[in-house]
Amino acid sequence: MINTTMKNIYSLVDIKMKVPFNYKQVLSCKALKFLADLHINFNYRRLELLSIRNEKRINLTGSGLDYFNANKFNNREVQTFGLNQIDSLKKSISRNNSISAVDFSVEDNPSWSSLVETQLGLKDIVETNRTDSAIETEGSIDVAVNEVSVVLCGRDISIDEINFFIDKTPFSASFFDFGLYLYHNSKQLIESGSTPTVFIPNIMNYYEAKFWNEFLLFVEQELELETGSIKAVVSLDGKLPEFEKRHIKEELSEHLID
């Protein structure tokens, strides 16, 4: 894997919008380096996967979706929040046995301010609850699932973040969403007894599953986390043959909630 350096990070990263001082809490030089490393190591593969999609003329809106491991959230209330709903999210997290899904794809063209300020809000929530006691793990619900309080739903890999360029190339919106959230919150969530959890939408084949597994392994390595510390729920084309669904599940087995 390739790693950038902190030196002259702003010669590599080009942010098209203003970055007020408070935004630098999540867009720090170290965070930008982390995002640049994601781009350098995975963007070329992302583009290859999108080429495969184009060749097969996959229509995301026209296919039914199956969900791996979403059934593990049975008996737990799941509330979905869009961008700029931090106050409502705080109230939801305080409720026992509930899961809050923060969906960065709820808007077709989210504003720069809503994207960054939601990341700021998530970081603040996680830090505020960092010293809270771990969630009770007794009962029949799987331990890893019972520790999930927030699920970050990122945008699809086909989308570019138009306000953020690395090495003069548009940055992946999904890398932006997942990267900032996991960089700032993974260790804190684990220390507070929770589990960093993401929802990866629209996995279309085994190659995309392999891509996302290696992406999460890279994040864990960079953040010095144990393999499998980050958990995932995924959606995939419901029309896929069963053997490919099995291959997808096997490829992501380290990170899917058991």
8 Å CB contact between 72 and 142: yes
> 8 in a domain, yes or no?
no
Q: Which two tokens stand for residue 258?
A: 């058991």
Overall domain count for the chain? 1
DSSP 169-234: EEEEHHHHHHHHHHHHHHHHHHHTT---EEEEEEE-SHHHHHHHHHHHHHHHHHTT--TT-SEEEE
Q: Which two tokens stand for residue 197?
A: 């959890």
> 175 in a domain, yes or no?
yes
> 70 in a domain, yes or no?
no
> 258 in a domain, yes or no?
no
Look at residue 65 in the predicted model and tell me its pLDDT.
57
> 256 in a domain, yes or no?
no
**143 has pLDDT over 60:** no
Please name the residues in contact with 53: beta carbons below 8 A apart, sequence gap of 6 or more: 158, 204
pLDDT tens digits, 216-247 = 999 999 999 999 999 999 988 778 889 999 99
111 Rama class: left (phi>0) / alpha (psi -120 to 50) / beta? beta
Please name the residues in contact with 231: beta carbons below 8 A apart, sequence gap of 6 or more: 144, 148, 195, 196, 197, 198, 255, 256, 257
Look at residue 3 in the predicted model and tell me its pLDDT.
66
Q: Which residue type occupies 242?
A: E
Look at residue 130 in the predicted model and tell me its pLDDT.
65
- In this prediction, residue 141 has a pLDDT band, given cuts at 50, 70 and 90, of very low
- In this prediction, residue 70 has a pLDDT band, given cuts at 50, 70 and 90, of low
Strand partners, 150: 100
Look at residue 107 in the predicted model and tell me its pLDDT.
81
> What is the residue whose two structure tokens read 């900032």?
180
Range(s) of the domain holding residue 174: 13-58+76-132+141-251
* DSSP-based helix, strand, coil % in the chain, nearest 5: 45, 20, 35
pLDDT tens digits, 180-225 = 999 999 999 999 888 999 999 989 899 999 999 999 999 999 999 9
C-beta neighbour count of 130 within 10 angstroms: 15
> 63 in a domain, yes or no?
no
Q: Which two tokens stand for residue 49?
A: 């996967």
Look at residue 160 in the predicted model and tell me its pLDDT.
97
**Single pTM value for the model:** 0.88
> 93 in a domain, yes or no?
yes
Q: How much is the mean pLDDT over the chain?
A: 85
> 257 in a domain, yes or no?
no
CATH number where 23 lies: 3.20.20.360
8 Å CB contact between 184 and 37: no
Three-state secondary-structure class, residue 137: coil
